[in-house]
Amino acid sequence: MSKILDFSELLITKFCHDISGQISAIDNGLEFLKDGHEEIKNKAMELVSSSSAELVTRMNFYRYAYGNLKRNGEADIEQLSKLIQKHYMNSKIKINWQYNTDICLRGITNRACKLLINLVIIASTYLIHGGETEIKIEKGSAGKLLRITGRGRDIKVNPEHKSILTEHNEAEPTIFNIQVFLTRKLADELNAQLQMDYSNGHITFYAEL
């Protein structure tokens, strides 16, 4: 039970960190609204409005990544695509989503999409100067293949993350690797084979379902 609690605490801490920027911006905007100048009030309202919209987008995104979804329910791929696109809309990451409708709309579970979205987060995190994250759902040798590719300059891959994902490294979970541990656990639950291909300018994750 202690390990489960530790895992939950770390994941909640990461979630709070991921939405803290928008909450702080809303708080600052509300403070500026107390100012008597009309121009400042207008700018404050714009800040509160834009930050609130971004906060809602982030919470919906992380609810899908971290939250409790119906395990065996079939996912709405089009909804997931819109969710990911919207989350990264104002970032340095361009999302390129490609999928075969005949393949995707048959038997892709919420759990598999949870794995996909966490791989997208990890790949995008490594693009420290921005770039493109390409998402593909293809026909694999025995089922479906998730292929997540990040492209950009100066990609920084954490060696510990690689060993956790592909070598089942039993490192101590921390706030810095909890996302990777969650992804590994999702893959294990789905009996998905995770592979990682890294070279100068790109990183690709493969998950065979």
- CA–CA separation, 47 and 44 (whole Å): 5
Homologous superfamily in CATH for domain 75-209: Histidine kinase-like ATPase, C-terminal domain (3.30.565.10)
- CA–CA separation, 1 and 135 (whole Å): 36
The tens place of each residue's pLDDT in the chain, 209 residues long, gives 456 678 889 999 999 999 999 999 999 888 888 876 788 888 888 999 999 999 999 999 999 899 887 766 677 888 888 999 999 998 999 999 876 666 555 667 888 889 999 999 999 999 999 999 999 988 877 778 899 999 998 888 888 998 999 887 778 889 899 999 999 999 999 999 899 998 888 999 999 88
Q: Containing H/E element for 179?
A: helix 178-189
Q: Tell me how far CA of residue 195 lies from CA of 33, 105, 107, 119, in angstroms.
A: 51, 24, 22, 11
Domain 1-68 part of CATH 1.10.287.130: yes
- Would you list the domain boundaries of the chain? 1-68, 75-209
Is the whole-model pTM more than 0.85? yes
